[in-house]
Structure 1
Amino acid sequence: MESIRIFSPATVANLSCGFDVLGLCLDTIGDEMIIRKSDKKGIRIIKITGADLPLEIDKNVAGVAALALVNAYETDFGFEIEIRKKIKAGSGIGSSAASAAGAVFGINKLLGEPFSGHELIQYAMKGEALASGNEHADNVAPALLGGFTLVRGYDPLDVIKIKSPEELYVTVLHPHIELKTSEMRAILNPEIKLKNAIRQWGNVGGLVAGLYTSDYDLIGRSLTDYIVEPLRSKFIPGFDQAKKTAIENGALGAGISGSGPSIFTLNKGLKNATSVNDQLKEIYQKNNIPFETYISKVNPDGIRIIE
């Protein structure tokens, strides 16, 4: 195989209660990437469409992640990367993760898959560090593995894939404002109250249990964030109204996707997901805030090859 064309999906991270440890993979929105072998050693990003992003390897998350991988696996050839961005930067649905994860996935395929999907996460995280200043896996892990993922620990890295219940759908609303991940991390408190930590641990356990048992009510009860959402939600216009309306119209729960500004809801069935989508659109149309919405099942496979 000399070249590969892939779909690298958007993701929803944190899932309210699971800051930096929980994420899921979407199916209906993502970037396209083309990666080719090159006689010239090293990594080159030769083209980016859909976004104004640097081609320099050390300034692009795909380049940083790809370089980390090739430095760990010596070859006598190099790679060229084309990126067709369809996930807006700063949208909160894993734009940087899609680029970083897609780069290492494609190169690994062209190398004959010397690394497992779990092993690729550590290289993709290097790209995330460029974007946010922190090596976190809650977006790149679901992009690479599919489904839901839980990062049990970072030292050493320990990621568990969780299968999604069959009827679970995701609705995402992306208001057209940009919130940089690094800035949204900077507003967080380094210390939290013990009572809030206990509540949050309980919700993480409840959400994981709900996913394994397909207990949709338990999933909904667990989508509560006592730590991050109270600080970040004030930067998202219309958030409180959108969350309240979504739940009143059938959503299991709602919260901030990643660092925002996108808002996600989990829903049982396509009918509820569509109803929530319609209500959220109505709110933002009245507020004159430009936006996009997406409805998606949970993508069970993650990044895929486009034939």
Structure 2
Amino acid sequence: MQARRKAVIKLAGEQLLLLALTFMMLYPLLWMVAGSFKDNGTIFTTAHSLLPNRLDFSSYIEGWKGFGGVTFATFFLNSTIITLLSTFGSVASSALIAYGFARIRFRWKKVWFVCMMLTMMLPFEIIMVPQYVMFNWFGWIDTYWPLILPTLFGTPFFIFLIMQFIRTLPHEMDEAAKIDGCGKFAIFSRIIVPLIVPAMMTCAIFSFYWRWDDFMGPLLYLNKPQLYPVSLGLKMFSDPDSITNWSALFAMSTLSVVPVFVVFFLFQRYIVEGISTSGLKG
């Protein structure tokens, strides 16, 4: 009986500790959500309280109006276009490249794989200037091409993740498909792709997060407010030369994290399944 009581006390202590750590991690987000319902002049004077005196939705209405005739609906639409196209391009191209590395024999395969893995160590700041010069020479500034086109050539982290997943699949399936007359692309599209959906969904979720939150890329290549994604739209609320509308900024920031939470809660099982299975072999 005493042992059971100790186990219950230990479990309760662990749960309380986890709840305290969870609250500490979520506190900045909760503070931002609470600030979105406060008056702009009382956000920092009542910063110690997460509960506003009254629910004021005027900051959401004011923030949604945007700037210069460009509403926040435009910013959300731009972010959606960039995120969906770049995510699809990144996952599809990475899956195809991963299949090549995992299943197809070709000359200098290991050398190309090492070169691909080395690119994961390159910070974005190193390739930022050469990329900008190249895209400027193409005349693609103030377009979405610099943000979408590079994703069509694969993402090293996704290639490695999907390749490890493909290595867990038996080669006998490929041999059986070859006997039935399937070529390499048919094997990939009909046999491999349906089996690597968890890994591809994991990559899609990560890509969605990265592209939705991307700030530096749009800041470099987009100059027209009509083309701004949400990340640059939020920046427009902060004006160092005048008064920053913090309540509207927090309101639109709160709305901007809603798609991220929705995607996470709908597809979180794919994250665990895709990452855990990718490390079983190879």
Please report the TM-score for the alignment, with normalisation by the length of structure 1: 0.23
Higher normalized helix content (fraction of residues): 2
Higher relative contact order structure (alpha carbons within 8 Å, sequence separation ≥ 6): 2
Higher normalized strand content (fraction of residues): 1
